[in-house]
């Protein structure tokens, strides 16, 4: 975790790192998905033109995107096959649970984190969840995290699937441009893919 964020009050930093750690307990504590995808989100943010401070806030906020999964039963979260309708409804609730856990806070990072937790599974075409938001009605930070979240999830082993190759995952992001993902952000993701691949390799070797 990146801990050099002197512009945040110490109490906010401490709370963020605790929620970040809680997010890493997804899949029996073996996953560092939240860490990887938050760094990928930071890269996309920088490619968009964010300042270092803005991108670092995005990194911290996006690290809490899946904190709501601590409220999902292991029988659903770790099921090694396709979820049925009731299980899928339960899984989708991690977005609203996460927003509730983060709650209302004066901290910019926490406000951003709540938005991301709630909206990172919304889709550009309006078919996402939990609220079926469409296009630019989806908050900008949620649109960035949607891309980095999917890329890392696709390239990671999960109980219900094998890891895709990085090339397959990149093609999936391309195919989702304008339907699942903001078409203005996909080219920025593609620009930083070489850096993301190298970063991912470093995480895997850590």
Active-site position among 69, 92, 174, 197: 69
Three-class DSSP category at 177 = strand
Chain centre to alpha carbon of residue 163? 17
d(CA 98, CA 109): 14
d(CA 25, CA 206): 18
Within 9-106, where are the H helices? 10-23, 33-48, 52-62, 74-77, 85-92, 94-102
Q: Are 119 and 132 contacting, i.e. CB atoms less than 8 angstroms apart?
A: no
d(CA 61, CA 55): 10
Three-class DSSP category at 161 = strand
Q: Which residue, 22, 122, 132, 111, is CA-closest to 72?
A: 22
Chain centre to alpha carbon of residue 62? 6
Strand partners, 177: 181
- The conformation of residue 80, written as its DSSP 8-state character, comes to S
Catalytic (active site) residue 197: no
- By annotation, the residues acting in catalysis are 69
């Amino acid at each position: 975790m990146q801990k050099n964020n002197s512009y945040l009050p110490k109490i906010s930093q401490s709370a963020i790192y605790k929620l970040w750690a809680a997010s890493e307990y997804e899949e029996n504590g073996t996953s560092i998905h939240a860490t990887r995808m938050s760094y990928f989100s930071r890269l996309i943010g920088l490619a968009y033109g964010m300042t270092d401070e803005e991108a670092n806030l995005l990194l911290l906020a996006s690290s809490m995107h899946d904190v709501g999964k601590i409220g999902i039963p292991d029988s659903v979260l770790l099921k090694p096959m396709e979820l049925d309708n009731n299980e899928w409804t339960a899984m989708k609730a991690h977005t609203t649970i996460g927003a509730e856990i983060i709650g209302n806070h004066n901290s910019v990072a926490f406000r951003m984190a709540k938005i991301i937790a709630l909206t990172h599974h919304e889709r550009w075409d309006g078919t996402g969840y939990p609220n079926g938001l469409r296009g630019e009605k989806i908050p900008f930070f949620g649109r960035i995290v949607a891309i980095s979240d999917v890329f890392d999830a696709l390239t990671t082993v999960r109980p219900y699937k094998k890891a895709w190759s990085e090339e397959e995952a990149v093609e999936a992001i391309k195919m989702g441009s304008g339907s699942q993902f903001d078409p203005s952000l996909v080219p920025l993701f593609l620009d930083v893919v070489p850096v993301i691949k190298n970063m991912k390799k470093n995480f895997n070797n850590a």
